[in-house]
Structure 1
Amino acid sequence: MKTIVYRETGDPSVLQLVDRPVSDPGAGEVRVRIVVSGVNPTDWKSRRGSAPGEPLAFADVVPNQDGAGVVDAVGSGVSNVAVGDRVWLALAAYQRAQGGTAQEYAVLPADHVFLLPTPASFDQGASLGVPAITAYRALTVAEDGPRRLHPGALDGKIVLVAGGAGAVGHAAIQLAGWAGATVITTVSGPEKGALATAAGAHHVLIYTDSDVADEIRRIAPDGVDLIVEVAPAQNSTLDLAVIRNRGSIAVYANNGGDEMTLDVRKHFSLNVRYQFVLLYTVGAEVVLQAAAGINEALVDGALAIGADAGLPLHRFDLAHTAGAHALVESGVTGKVLIDVSAG
């Protein structure tokens, strides 16, 4: 089978196309014929490491955490999926040398494989994983909020999504709106604002505007209930200015800096909760619960993709996975997908 691997950290040129045998699934494992592989920033960050040429934990690594395809074989003890099922994948490459989705067949644990509802496409399935589960988790950590999303779960709540044109921001807008929240988002300019509007945001603001805090307070006089934050170092002052008493700030990335300074007195006077979100360490139960909720949203048509839905698609074939990684690393707006095999 055709497989992409890298044997050392570095730029996209370290990705190589090789042939290798198809592996059989062991107990509790599933083999999936990959139709579409999704590329996320976490994939190129793992490939780059902290410096070029670093040794890896394995002899070689197959990249990409997300994807969608068809179950080809199952090991003993697997009951959540069966041969022939359409599925989407999450954390496929986590702590596994050969689990990544940049290959024709991937073997991974059954609890990283989820049924893909009939209305959803393989493109949608490959666009879930890291962005959608991260967004779901961020929307379910508030002290006064729900632990599970469903229509009506966020009725009466106001959610601020920082960076609404990114993949996680896009999913957060869609999921929050599906659950009944009023969604405000901040973006860098009109072009990204149009994408956030297409995703379903009710209010789209430019974060560089000097009066952005006043605009948010105009929409939410008592403050916002929950902030889904991509750039805490840059936005901590704004977040404090607009969060309500007992509000929560869910941080899932460090865009704009690794350190931030917080005014302790002002934060504890408002009982503000900061919740940091890293998908790899949230725990299996959180991932499973998120996947179930995401599938409900898919059935309801709440997680559309494509330019008309606010998430433009950029396509590559497997042999050009390096180009796909380079495009994501460049900061392109939208979702980068790799066509691996025919659906």
Structure 2
Amino acid sequence: MLYLDNAATSPVRPEVLEAMMPYLTHRFGNPSSHHTVGEDAAGALAEARARVARVLGMRPGDIVFTSGGTEANNLAVKGIALGRFQHGGSRHLITTPIEHESILESADYLRRLHGFEVTHVPVDTAGRVDPDAVARAVRDDTALITIGYANNEVGTVQDIPALAAIARARGVPVHADAVQAAGWLPLSAPALGVDALSLAGHKLGAPKGTGLLAVRGRVPVEPLLHGGGQERGRRSGTEDVAGAVGIATALELAEAGRAEASARVAALRDRFVARVLATVPSARLTGDPVRRLPGTASFTFAGTSGEAVLLELERRGIVSSSGSACAAGSDEPSHVLVAMGVAPEVAQTAVRFTFPAGLDQPLDSVAAAVEASVSAVRSGG
């Protein structure tokens, strides 16, 4: 089996599991406990926080460990927006219609329960947001701009520094969902110009259920979880020390190999895309053809059933997906593709291939399997 659904999740790296194991066994203390066992756990947690901060170019106190990317995005959108509202009455949010569901649903929660106005800045047919359009959308009462660094379905990469410069000029915090970008794109917050970044461990080789929000200390954040005041009062609850060590280790490993892996996998992906487009007449690449994640190739195959293509691919030993795993089981067409102007009936034929950073083999056989799968579905068997 060839697993090409790494945007959904990736296997835990052996080095990560090894680093976590002591904190799952004999070094099991609660970091809030005031004895030697607890202090040992607190030291490991502090070290993990500092390691993450070094990679992101932030302060250790800026790092909030969470249960994953969804919680990190919820804390960013709800927490920052409500914090800004409490400190100045701002009640306006800017995002795009192609964001992950955890962003869009958080924005809708603010609209429904707290009276926020939400502006969804449109994207073009490649999934790109125009910084000038964002600039026009900013108002005096804008509390937050939240835009994904790289789209989870089509892989389009946004010009985050340009968007952040607009926000900075107007005194508006900007958050980037960097869950899909981690391991492929630079994550230095100062270079990107952002105030907050979300990451998920299981996209990097850490376990599911690990994640973090990096948010500058000067940005007010209203906590979503209340209790003992852990994470500097921004997320109460006993910290997952093993998970923090795991995501810190995975992030360091990914960053160390990022430049080489990105270049190598992008070259393989480009050959794969060229072969599919040349041999499958109905194939259309979705997303920006150039500014896209190195490991992402997504297509529509008009006149087919995307689900049938996926099943035929798996029968041939290739595991891929139709888009976001968080929307699996839905009969609705991809909100990302529809926002990009793809007809709903064509959007339902989408297939996404997402390659691992460790990919080191030619993809001609995969491209041939795609061609055969589409032909088989069209011929009825």
TM-score normalised according to structure 2 size: 0.32
Q: Which has the larger radius of gyration?
A: 2
TM-score normalised according to structure 1 size: 0.35
Higher helix share: 2
Structure with bigger RCO (C-alpha 8 Å, 6+ apart):
2
Higher strand share: 1
